[in-house]
Chain A
């Protein structure tokens, strides 16, 4: 039913969104914790910087990422580890770009979830003999579960729908950097509206099913609390 290559593009999209979400959850957990628990000097500036992807047009962000990932930027050094000139036009580059682009969408829900945790509860855990890591896994994680769910859903959905950044740094290489949104755009640009509509339909249904499943699970998970 899908045009040739679109299934592959969908797979690249889903893979990119999954990997990006996992990286972002790992990355944002300490960052959100650090930002949520108390106010520090320079924090407002840092938060403003981290929120920039919300404000910058994706293509602008994409252009700077292109410079960053290219052989003259840090991406060149990173790429040299993988024996390639820069990380632009590679899946790894897309992951880096998506992480930057979707970061606020994962950071914010986590930060809010952490900030909502009563400090007294953590103090009681400490008094009961739980060290910092122990407290994190035994108290913070379970209490922040709805926040993690929102963060994961938003991060995944936002990466799945990402377009401007991928367009700028991807180079539309089938199986590597041509994601579903770019494939869809190409169909539209080429005037192949029939293929575009089929791919769009699959994307919409896929996202809908995913979000529906997650929200259903969230309702169930919230039950016993």
Chain B
């Protein structure tokens, strides 16, 4: 546990009351509708928004009865939705601004420049940068402030898909060493980056925990969403060159995913609820690549004759979206053993 907070934020009639903890490292997505107060919460953690209550980080008291630690004394790196670079400085100036004020940032200079391919931009003026370039500089600046906690407020909102992918990778890498609190309302980012999820709704954290536990849990923010999905943690087994298939281990089961080459050691697999169908007996004559044994944990009705089935499969959650007709025909109820046919799964 790195960050722990128990705060109340008031903005006129709006009140936000949040109790939460962040893990030691990894990306925690702060998820919620627009206007749910995500940005305010992030700013409160950074010390930029006054709030009441308690904020602790690594045993240090950032906010409490004794008052609040001012923003510039908190070891956070901050990046906002718009890059917000210093307009009077060039790219080097912007990066130096953070580096000069951070102890021991000198040795990170080269590393950050390389990580974000910033070297060619160094002498550029801020006004001439494209959206993607500006975002890279802003992230570089946040990293050069030697943060022990990275706070990102929809940092990729202005970027196209290719650049998002590249920056998400960088953020994922950073998150291996420090905790990252990442504001988003994009499912895509949740599934790609999120290891943990804080789900903000109606002025409070409706759920927090490992991303799958929240996504598949009761009252999941995504249950009724047409893109409801989970992320499965797998292990790399081998790559089958002939079929362009990556073979992964999910507990005792094997999962095959089309891939152009061998991936990392612990690939994450995104499985949408609408891509999962259920059978009572294992089909041996199906073209579906992956058929996994699972146990029905919960069945929830959705509008328009749909239902969402939560399954336990090799200690992980899986969601299946079916018609209520199928549910009745198969007699699906908690405890029933089924076979989940996964029609499509994507590496994230």
Which of A's residues lie within 8 Å of B, judged by CB?
A: 118, 120-121, 123-132, 134-135, 138-139, 142-143, 224-225
Q: How far is the CA of A128 from the CA of B95 in the complex (A)?
A: 10
Sample of 5 further A-B pairs with CB below 8 A, known A127-B145, A129-B101:
A123-B48, A124-B84, A126-B48, A128-B72, A130-B72
Contact of B125 with A131 in the complex, beta carbons under 8 Å: no
Residue of A nearest to B81 (CB): A120
> Taking the nearest CB of chain A, how far is it from the CB of B233, in angstroms?
32
Query: Within the assembled complex, what's the spacing in Å between the Cα atoms of A225 and B126?
Result: 9
Q: Is the CB of B97 within 8 A of A127?
A: no
| Residue numbers in A under 8 Å from B43 (CB-CB) | 123
Write out the residue numbers on chain B whose beta carbons fall within 8 Å of the beta carbon of A224. 125
Residues A129 and B145 in contact, CB atoms below 8 Å apart: yes
Asked whether, in the complex, the Cβ of A128 is within 8 Å of the Cβ of B101, the reply is: yes
Contact between A139 and B86 (Cβ–Cβ < 8 Å)?
Answer: yes
Contact: A142 with B98, CB < 8 Å?
no
Whether the Cβ atoms of B87 and A125 lie closer than 8 Å is: no
Q: How far is the CA of A135 from the CA of B98 in the complex (A)?
A: 12
Which of A123, A132, A142, A143 is packed against the most chain B CB atoms within 10 Å? A123
- Which chain B residues (54-76) contact chain A, with CB distance < 8 Å? 70-72, 74, 76
The 10 closest A-B pairs by CB, nearest first: A129-B101, A127-B78, A126-B71, A128-B98, A142-B88, A120-B84, A126-B72, A131-B72, A123-B48, A128-B145
Q: A123 touching B78 by the CB < 8 A rule?
A: yes
A143 touches B88 (CB 8 A): yes
Evaluate contact between B86 and A121: CB separation under 8 angstroms.
yes
Query: A129's contact among B72, B82, B85, by CB below 8 Å, is which?
Result: B72
- Check A126/B70 contact, CB under 8 A, given A120-B82, A120-B84, A143-B87: yes
Whether the Cβ atoms of B70 and A131 lie closer than 8 Å is yes
Q: Cα distance A135–B145 when bound, in Å?
A: 15
Given A126-B48, A127-B76, A128-B97, are A225 and B88 neighbors across the interface (CB < 8 Å)?
yes
Name, among A126, A139, A225, the residue most crowded by chain B CB atoms within 10 Å (CB to CB). Answer: A126
Residue B141 at the A interface, CB < 8 A? yes
The A-contacting residues of B in range 117-147, CB under 8 angstroms, are: 125, 127, 141-142, 145
A141 to B87, CA, bound (A): 12
B291, CB-defined interface residue at 8 Å: no
CA gap between A60 and B84 in the complex, in Å: 48
Size of the chain B interface, CB-CB below 8 angstroms: 28
A189 and B142 alpha carbons, distance in the complex (Å): 67
B80–A124 contact, CB under 8 A? yes
A-B CB contact pairs (8 Å), 29 listed: A120-B80, A121-B84, A121-B87, A123-B48, A123-B78, A123-B80, A124-B78, A124-B80, A124-B84, A124-B141, A126-B46, A127-B71, A127-B74, A127-B78, A127-B142, A128-B72, A128-B97, A128-B101, A128-B145, A129-B98, A129-B101, A132-B72, A138-B97, A139-B88, A142-B88, A143-B87, A143-B88, A225-B88, A225-B127
Inter-chain CA distance A118–B46, complex, in Å, is: 18
Please tell me if B330 contacts chain A, counting CB pairs below 8 Å: no
Q: A131-B70, A131-B72 are in contact. Are A125 and B88 (CB under 8 A)?
A: no
Asked whether any CB of chain A lies closer than 8 Å to the CB of B194, the reply is: no
- Distance (whole angstroms) from the CB of A224 to the closest CB of chain B: 7
When distances are taken between beta carbons in the complex, the residues of chain B under 8 Å from A143 are 87-88
Return the chain B residue nearest A142 by Cβ.
B88
The answer to whether A225 touches B71, judged by C-beta atoms less than 8 angstroms apart, is no
Q: Which residues of chain B from 82 to 111 have any CB-CB distance to chain A below 8 Å in the complex?
A: 82, 84-88, 97-98, 101-102
Q: Which residues of A contact B74 (CB under 8 A)?
A: 127
B155 at the interface (CB under 8 A from A): no
